[in-house]
Amino acid sequence: MKIGMLTGGGDAPGLNSVIYALTRICTRKFNCELIGYKFGYRGLYENNFVKLTPESTSGILHKGGTILFSSNKDNLFDYLVDDGNGNMVKKDVSDIAVENLKKEGVDILVILGGDGTLTSARDFARKGINVIGVPKTIDNDLGSTDVTFGFDSAVNVVTENIGRIHTTAESHHRVFVVEVMGRNAGWIALHAGIAGSADIILIPEIPYTLENIVKKIKERDAAGKNFSIIVVTEGAKEKGGQAVIGKVVSDSPDPIRFGGIAAKISHDLEPLINHEIRSVALGHIQRGGETSPADRVLSVRYAYEAANLIAEKKFGNMVCLKNGKMSYVSLEEVIGKSKFVDPMGKLVNAARALGISFGD
């Protein structure tokens, strides 16, 4: 067999771990050849790939990012191409990708990505390609699996940085508003906020009011705690308001980029309290650095399950983790199923029991 692999969407710690593990497992188990397409689906369209061997992937298990590079703009079913007259138009070029797979003799395509990337994986499966999906996103918002690799690493990074901010906040009696990734799902803010001893956690699933944020800060002041840490998901919303849009990337399949909520809260809050406020947007630092041990192990488990699906010829599926056990689910059932924080869930209730406010 010949196996192709690609990584699409935003990068996440654990991508290299899956590449490392799947290359070794499939080489040893099937004695097969593996290639990796560069820059996600764009590489599939341009037939731009590298050979993947135990030697070429040596030493990448712990590294963040992806040695295959990635793109979150390239949907081959709606791809920007030159119409021959110098005009850029959207066109379905997926047949070119299919022909490239046939030309290289690729029997199976393993696709590592989130909802957008896996949507195209499903569409290629519908065209007859033997596809296996592996779920990836630091946001942990894919509904068909309990956890995605990259999430634990991001939580570790955010928790560490909250700890660093904590010391300067306490030293200067300031309020810090720390903006984290997650888009419309508050998983990173919730987990890192609890782990980092945040005083207020603001997530998209629970709209906040400035009045309730002020109330919590004044409660802390009255108790002699003259500083506060607020952790906010980039897609969080004030009650009756909308998420703050940082920019619009017009040539992206998902053009809306959230950003700026921490700065907005700081601006709106400072006249209402007797503290200086600083805002910090952690941004892409959450994606970088070494992959956490938990994500390395999870990635190896995903890779092993993907190899099992290859052996059993169970194509058109995505590997997943359900109730602590590896399994798989049809790509047809994966798309559009997001996973959000339950405002009445046990983890939110546990945070409230600790005295953490959600601004509601």
Task: Please list the active-site residues.
Answer: 139
What SS3 state is found at 167?
helix
CB-based burial, 228-259: b 16+ in 10 Å, e otherwise:
bbbbbbbbbbbeeeebbebeeeeeebeeeebb
C-alpha count within 13 angstroms, C-beta hemisphere, residue 219: 11
Please report, to the nearest 10 degrees, the dihedral formed by the alpha carbons of residues 8, 138, 133, 113 taken in order: -10
Closest by CA to 5, choosing from 41, 37, 53, is 37
For residue 184, what are its two tokens?
């419309």
For residue 166, what are its two tokens?
């904590």
Q: How many CB atoms lie within 10 A of CB 44?
A: 29
Can you tell me the distance from the alpha carbon of 17 to that of 303, in angstroms, rounded to the nearest whole number? 9
